[in-house]
Amino acid sequence: MKEQYMDEKKTSQDNGKWDLLQVNNLVKYFPVRGGLLQRVVAWVQAVENVSFTVREGETVGLVGESGCGKTTVGRTILRLIEPTSGDVTFNGVELFKLRGRELKEMRRNMQIIFQDPYSSLDPRMPIGESIAEGLRIHKIGTPKERFETTIEMLRKVGLEDYHARRYPHEFSGGQRQRIGIARALALRPKFIVADEPVSALDVSIQSQVLNILKELQNEFGLTYLFIAHNLSVVEHISDRVVVMYLGMMVEFTDRMELFRNPLHPYTQALMSAIPIPDPNLKRERILLPGDVPSPLNPPKGCRFHPRCHKFIADLCDVKAPPNFEPEAGHMVSCWLYQ
Amino acid sequence: MSIAKFKDMGLDVAAAEAMPEEVSQFKVVTRRFFRHKLAVGSMIVLGVVILIAICAPLLSSFSPTELEVGSDFLSPGSRSEDGRLHLLGTDALGRDYWARIIYAARISLTVALSAQLIVSCIGIIIGSVSGYTGGVIDIIVMRAVEFLLTIPALPLLLIISSLIIQNQDAIPVPELIKNFLAKLLLIQPRDSVQVFLLIVVLAGLGWMADSRLMRGVVLSLKEQPFVEASKAMGASSARIIITHLVPNALAPMIVSASLGLAGFIIYEASLSFLGFGIQDPTPTWGNMLSATQSYMFQHPWLPLVSGTPIFLCTLTINFIGDGLRDALDPRLKL
């Protein structure tokens, strides 16, 4: 039944891949409470109208500065944070309408890998138990089978069998990150949100973890939403890239297209800031004036307009731009391309 | 997971055996605790006190309630008419003081231990549920706890326990508990009602601080990514509390329990001292100390002898608590 459904979907999409995940107009505001009665005094507008799709088996990179809402997008998709509005469709199911048992079942299909390898593992639990936790929650297999799955996962991420009995404090950061990956994989999910999985690691370990992620993607046919702030990491691992600025999506396109032909002024500035390992090559850098405004009180209209070098008066500061598609498969949220 | 289990599954046993044993949290903690000289010394002293309490019937040929007419206030080391030794002399009614002290140890320690055990359990349950649930429930529970904390404990304790002790026969206490306590403490079932009620009253007025502590720990723990990971895997709140929050909050709760234990010994003693706790003839350190007030100038060793175990227990328990705190704090590298 499900197979058939998937086949149908496949044929209806280009190059054999169909949208596993569709995010439509996702909005998340966090209340700021204050005063004696803990009343809501303001809203942090963390995510504003973000829409993108993730095709089965691909990696979508989600980039942006700190505090631009990329982590919030990831967590809201997984229902770790409840959304303010918008909807997310996964495998044909509307995630935000799921309750109780249905939600629990759905969680098997989507997992998360965290940024900080030190706090993402329970310090009082041997890592073997941490990895098997998902299997215990969903009552999959006998204890022996669960143990075998645990060992298999450990081997997959390049750790040894006897590590299962050890505690997190006995591992290095890179090892712990691999344990986190093994835990996310134990339930055999289809989709993984990797929330800056390498930003807390040494550069030498980063490539190791990235390669493991790629290998596992090929082996299990995984789909990743890869959150990062490092453009070279994103270029290495992503098929398509979403660029975010202050809670809004500014650009969404293929990786090659994005790096070759960035359309949004913010993306252009971002690209010009990537260092080139050639001291003789001079390049014009686009310097953005000022700082990122506070998401408590974002600028009216386009959120980027106070810092934009191609700012159109009476348009950008009045109305927020919708997503335009000047070239096929290249979405950009900017009035320049209307 | 033991090595034997690895063998059963035909896994890489050689590698597992070649590696040093895994260093569990427990081993790290015990190793660090044993470096704390004062705490280890205190542990030995307290261990001896507990051992004496357990072996009380073997250590004295007298019963704590055995009266000997005419031999009141015998000095330590004197002998009874049938030649048995009064190690610490006798009290105003001619009862052997050593026997009373060691039987009292059973009662005083049982009261303190069970009160603390109940308090810790209540604290862990209320604190974790309130902290993890958050929102309105948390606000209501914590405001209630704060309100109860503002009431000074000792006067309230005095009022409640005097009311309860006066009406103890009217309060239904399960026979099972009554008889169990009587057997454990080697007293009459009728008297064990008092002990049970005192435990309940002490626990009922002491659970707030531990609940608050537990809630605080849970509030910081529930923001940790490993809790989020568990949630992402579909774990229920109850499961997260039991498998992640409680084990991780145990360290501060153990420290708090060890310090609370000393507090309960003092509370029991002060209540009995003021005459609102367990009544004579059941011996406790508190009511023995209280009884010596009238004769302390004629027989100065009596208050010293009955005060010493209280002093010794609270001091050693506090030192052990300090040692535990240092051993359980992962930030301290000793």
* Cross-chain Cβ contact B228/A125 below 8 Å: no
* Cross-chain Cβ contact A167/B226 below 8 Å: no
Mean pLDDT of B7-32: 61
The first and second tokens of residue B196, run together, are 């049970």
Picking from A147, A148, A160, the nearest residue to B12 by CB comes out as A160
Residue to substitute from B11, B12, B226, interface A, most A β-carbons within 10 A = B226
Phi, psi at residue A26, to the nearest 5°? -70, 130
Consecutive H or E run containing B83: none
Q: What is the predicted pLDDT for the residue at B21?
A: 54
For residue B24, the chain A residues in CB contact (below 8 A) are 167
How far apart CA B46 and CA B40 sit, in angstroms, is: 10
For residue B7, the chain A residues in CB contact (below 8 A) are none
ipTM value: 0.82
Q: What is the predicted pLDDT for the residue at A2?
A: 43
The alpha carbon of residue A89 is apart from the nearest alpha carbon of chain B, in Å, by 17
Indicate the pLDDT class of residue B15, thresholds 50, 70 and 90. low
* Cross-chain Cβ contact B244/A80 below 8 Å: no
The alpha carbon of residue B19 is apart from the nearest alpha carbon of chain A, in Å, by 8
How far apart CA B282 and CA B304 sit, in angstroms, is: 20
Map tokens 């051993």 to a residue.
B327
- Compute how many other C-beta atoms are within 10 angstroms of the C-beta atom of residue B139: 12
Phi, psi at residue B199, to the nearest 5°? -60, -45
* Cross-chain Cβ contact A119/B12 below 8 Å: no
The alpha carbon of residue B303 is apart from the nearest alpha carbon of chain A, in Å, by 47
CA dist list (Å): B51 to B34, B45, B57, B138, B258: 21, 10, 12, 43, 18
pTM: 0.81
Q: What is the predicted pLDDT for the residue at B1?
A: 45
Phi, psi at residue A85, to the nearest 5°? -160, 180
The first and second tokens of residue B216, run together, are 């605080």
* Cross-chain Cβ contact A111/B225 below 8 Å: no
Indicate the pLDDT class of residue B4, thresholds 50, 70 and 90. low
Q: What is the predicted pLDDT for the residue at A4?
A: 43
Cis omega before residue B281 (within 30°)? yes
How far apart CA A53 and CA A51 sit, in angstroms, is: 7
Nearest partner of A191 among A240, A150, A226, judged by Cα: A226
* Cross-chain Cβ contact B25/A167 below 8 Å: yes
Residue, of B101 and A12, whose pLDDT is higher: B101
Per-residue model confidence as pLDDT tens digits over B142-181: 999 999 888 888 888 888 888 887 787 788 888 888 888 8
Residue to substitute from A104, A122, A148, interface B, most B β-carbons within 10 A = A122
Indicate the pLDDT class of residue A1, thresholds 50, 70 and 90. very low
pLDDT at A118 over 50: yes
Consecutive H or E run containing B334: none
Picking from B226, B243, B247, the nearest residue to A120 by CB comes out as B226
* Cross-chain Cβ contact B234/A162 below 8 Å: no
Indicate the pLDDT class of residue A315, thresholds 50, 70 and 90. confident
SS3 B21: coil
Picking from B22, B225, B233, the nearest residue to A187 by CB comes out as B233
How far apart CA B259 and CA A312 sit, in angstroms, is: 68
Concatenate the DSSP letters of all residues of B263-289 into one string.
HHHHHHHHHHHTTSSSPTTS--HHHHH
Kindly report the three-state secondary structure assignment for every residue of chain A. CHHHHHHHHHHHCHHHCCEEEEEEEEEEEEEEEECCCCEEEEEEEEEEEEEEEEECCCEEEEECCCCCCHHHHHHHHCCCCCCCEEEEEECCEEHHHCCHHHHHHHHCCEEEECCCCCCCCCCCCCHHHHHHHHHHHCCCCCHHHHHHHHHHHHHHCCCCHHHHHCCHHHCCHHHHHHHHHHHHHCCCCCEEEEECCCCCCCHHHHHHHHHHHHHHHHHHCCEEEEEECCHHHHHHHCCEEEEEECCEEEEEEEHHHHHHCCCCHHHHHHHHCCCCCCCCCCCCCCCCCCCCCCCCCCCCCCCCHHHCCCCCCCCCCCCCCCCEEEECCEEECCHHHC
- Report the CATH fold assignment for B26-327: MetI-like fold (1.10.3720)
The alpha carbon of residue B27 is apart from the nearest alpha carbon of chain A, in Å, by 12
SS3 B96: strand
For residue A105, the chain B residues in CB contact (below 8 A) are 234
Nearest partner of A110 among B229, B240, B244, B223, judged by Cα: B229
Per-residue model confidence as pLDDT tens digits over A79-100: 988 889 888 888 888 888 888 8
Nearest partner of A334 among A268, A239, A270, A235, judged by Cα: A268
Q: What is the predicted pLDDT for the residue at B17?
A: 53
Residue, of B128 and A66, whose pLDDT is higher: B128
Burial class (CB within 10 angstroms; exposed 0-12, middle 13-18, buried 19+) of B189: middle
* Helices and strands per DSSP (H, E), number in chain B: 15, 0
Indicate the pLDDT class of residue A8, thresholds 50, 70 and 90. very low
How far apart CA A129 and CA A163 sit, in angstroms, is: 11
The alpha carbon of residue A2 is apart from the nearest alpha carbon of chain B, in Å, by 22
For residue B25, the chain A residues in CB contact (below 8 A) are 123-124, 167
The alpha carbon of residue A121 is apart from the nearest alpha carbon of chain B, in Å, by 5
Mean pLDDT of A166-186: 87
Q: What is the predicted pLDDT for the residue at B215?
A: 94
Map tokens 């040093």 to a residue.
B20
The alpha carbon of residue A147 is apart from the nearest alpha carbon of chain B, in Å, by 9
Picking from A114, A121, A138, the nearest residue to B234 by CB comes out as A138
* Cross-chain Cβ contact B229/A119 below 8 Å: no
How far apart CA B60 and CA B57 sit, in angstroms, is: 6
pLDDT at B115 over 90: yes
Helix/strand/coil percentages in chain B, nearest 5:
70, 0, 25
> Is the CB of B75 inside 8 Å of chain A's CB atoms?
no
